[in-house]
Amino acid sequence: MQRLALFLITLALCQPAWSQQRVDAGNSYRRVLAVVPMIGQGSGTNPKRPMFIPAERNPSDRAGIIAFQFQLSDDGNSALVEFVAVDRGAINGILHSNDPRIKAFEVGKSTRQEIETEFRKYKRNFSFDNFHPVRLP
């Protein structure tokens, strides 16, 4: 009887660990959705890319922008980008840029509707249904 009671107490104490759910990968890290100009000359050393994306990146380096995805605007001069960083310092330059061509929204602080409305000014048929959050381990 004593063993059964001990087993049930141990089981009850371990249960909360089993019931915890993982955080959705789309809600982890620091994320910014932004309209930014395309930069670069299109060469191997200076590829055409969205502003704030480095020409070369070391995948093991966790400083700065660690992941991104983008869609080109209808005119091809801008990109609709999701930037992902480990810390807020890496995205502050995007969020607080004085460049009038940059429209930035911090995920969790702006509504989906606000972001979609702005993005549709640059890509008429933009939808978050085709723009899923970047997944990182």
Q: CA 50, CA 77: separation in Å to the nearest integer?
A: 9
What average pLDDT does the segment 110-117 reach?
94
Tell me if 137 is assigned to some domain.
Answer: no
pLDDT of residue 5: 57
Q: Is the pLDDT of residue 23 over 90?
A: no
- Please state the pTM of the whole predicted model: 0.76
Percent of residues, the chain, with pLDDT higher than 90: 50
Tell me if 18 is assigned to some domain.
Answer: no
Tell me if 67 is assigned to some domain.
Answer: yes
| C-alpha separations of 106 from 30, 59, 82, 109 in Å | 8, 24, 10, 6
Number of domains in the chain: 1
| C-alpha separations of 65 from 9, 15, 61, 69, 128 in Å | 46, 38, 9, 11, 21
pLDDT confidence tier of residue 54, bands split at 50, 70 and 90: confident
pLDDT of residue 9: 66
Tell me if 13 is assigned to some domain.
Answer: no
Range of the domain at 37: 30-130
Tell me if 45 is assigned to some domain.
Answer: yes
Tell me if 100 is assigned to some domain.
Answer: yes
Q: Is the pLDDT of residue 8 over 70?
A: no
